[in-house]
Every structure is written in structure tokens, then in C-alpha cells.
Amino acid sequence: MLYAMIAKDAPGALQKRLDTRPVHLDHLKSLGKKLVFAGALLNADEQPEGSIVVFEAETLAEAEALAAADPFVPAGVFASYEVKRWRIAINTTGVEF
């Protein structure tokens, strides 16, 4: 099953985001096939203002644990985040989930 973490950055968190990004990326890479895709939400100035991360997990609890383990969470980059069950409606990538 797929789950999406939708996160909004805390005001003024850009420097925290930049400082934490290397360990954040290492963490995402360590998830292997549990990570479907991830990326920053951008504002009108093309600056990060949040993130979307899609996990493959057996349960909501597992997906929530994966989200909570993201180094951006304890670093205070996110003002808020939520994890929701996500279903693909259209997939033009050719990748099956």
C-alpha cells in the first residue's frame, strides 16, 4: 500500500532545511524500495516550502513511523506533516505499484 507524507515547512526554516538536507537524503536512500518518490514543494520563488514523500508500507502505523524518522522532523524543518493513504489514479511512468 502507498502512503503520502505531506509536510509544510516552519516559517524561516530554509537554513535548517539546507543544513539537514545531506542527512535527510541519506535517510531517504536508506529506505530502499519502501521509498517510492520524494521531493520538495516549491513556492513562487522556487524555494522549498514543504515536502511530499510517498512510502510503500504495510500499515498506516508503519508509514507514520517512516515519516517520523525523517531527519527533517526532529530538526524542526516541518511546522506540520500528515501521513495519508494514497492511491494512484493515473500512472504514466510504466512503473507498477
| pLDDT tens-digit series, residues 46-57 | 999 999 999 999
For 71, phi then psi, to 5°, come to -60, -20
Q: Is the pTM of the predicted complex or chain greater than 0.85?
A: yes
Q: Which CATH superfamily is domain 2-86 in?
A: Dimeric alpha+beta barrel (3.30.70.1060)
Instruction: Encode pLDDT of 61-93 as tens digits.
Output: 999 999 999 999 999 999 999 999 999 888 888
Instruction: State the average pLDDT over residues 33-45.
Output: 96
Of 35 and 90, more confident? 35
Task: Show Cβ contacts of residue 31 under 8 Å, excluding neighbours closer than 6 positions.
Answer: 55, 66
pLDDT band at residue 13, thresholds of 50, 70 and 90?
very high
Are the CB atoms for 22 and 86 separated by under 8 Å? no
What are the CA-CA distances from residue 47 to residues 54, 68, 97 (Å)?
Answer: 21, 23, 30
